[in-house]
Amino acid sequence: MARIWVFGDNIDTDQILPGRYAPYMTSEADLGKYPFIEYRPEFASEVRPGDIIVTGNNFGCGSSREYAPRALRAVGIAAIIAPSFARIFYRNALNLGLPLFQADLSADVADGADATIDRSSGVLTVGGYARQLPPPPLWLRQVWDEGGVIAYYLNHGRLPLGEAR
């Protein structure tokens, strides 16, 4: 059974993956060993594929380091739910096909609670109780579903347009 990991406000990229644990400094093969290595040292060894992160405001603020969301994808995080995301993190996660949902749940769900998420429908089930998360725009979901922005570009021969002109 997957579980929920609850974090607070303003979790910056130095907490998600400190600069000195970047693949540039260590090795690509070890990327999954380091998420939250100092902020929450048990995370990397206890996290299981399908687990969900629920956080406060401004998750992922700070650096443009794409290896921060990439490390979370590497350990199998199914989705991140926050009232707001820092802009570069949001776009990096989208580009990597890591689903983000905008909702304020950190006071409603317990750290360690059993939970599952259906990333297509946005239905989060916690302790048998299901709730619908606000769905992201269709074109964003399409980027996740196709595995990220590069896969999208290769599939369609163009950038994800959304309502772009």
Q: Which residues bind another protein (CB under 8 A)?
A: 10, 12, 14-15, 18-20, 22-27, 38-39, 57-58, 61-67, 70, 84, 86-88, 91-92, 95-96, 148-150, 153-154, 159-165
How far is the CA of 51 from the CAs of 92, 126, 156, in angstroms? 19, 12, 31
Neighbours of 12 (CB within 10 A): 16
Q: How far is the CB of 145 from another protein (least distance, A)?
A: 16
Measured from the CB atom, the residue of 84 and 116 that comes closer to another protein is 84
Measured from the CB atom, the residue of 58 and 106 that comes closer to another protein is 58
- Tell me what percent of the chain is helix, strand and coil, each rounded to the nearest 5: 30, 20, 50
Q: In what order do the strands lie in the sheet with 129-132?
A: 115-118, 123-126, 129-132
Q: How far is the CB of 117 from another protein (least distance, A)?
A: 23
Q: How far is the CB of 38 from another protein (least distance, A)?
A: 4
DSSP run (H or E) holding 91: helix 87-96
Q: How far is the CB of 113 from another protein (least distance, A)?
A: 26
CA distance 102 to 151: 24
Measured from the CB atom, the residue of 72 and 124 that comes closer to another protein is 72
Measured from the CB atom, the residue of 20 and 131 that comes closer to another protein is 20
SS3 for 120? coil
Measured from the CB atom, the residue of 1 and 164 that comes closer to another protein is 164
Q: How far is the CB of 148 from another protein (least distance, A)?
A: 7
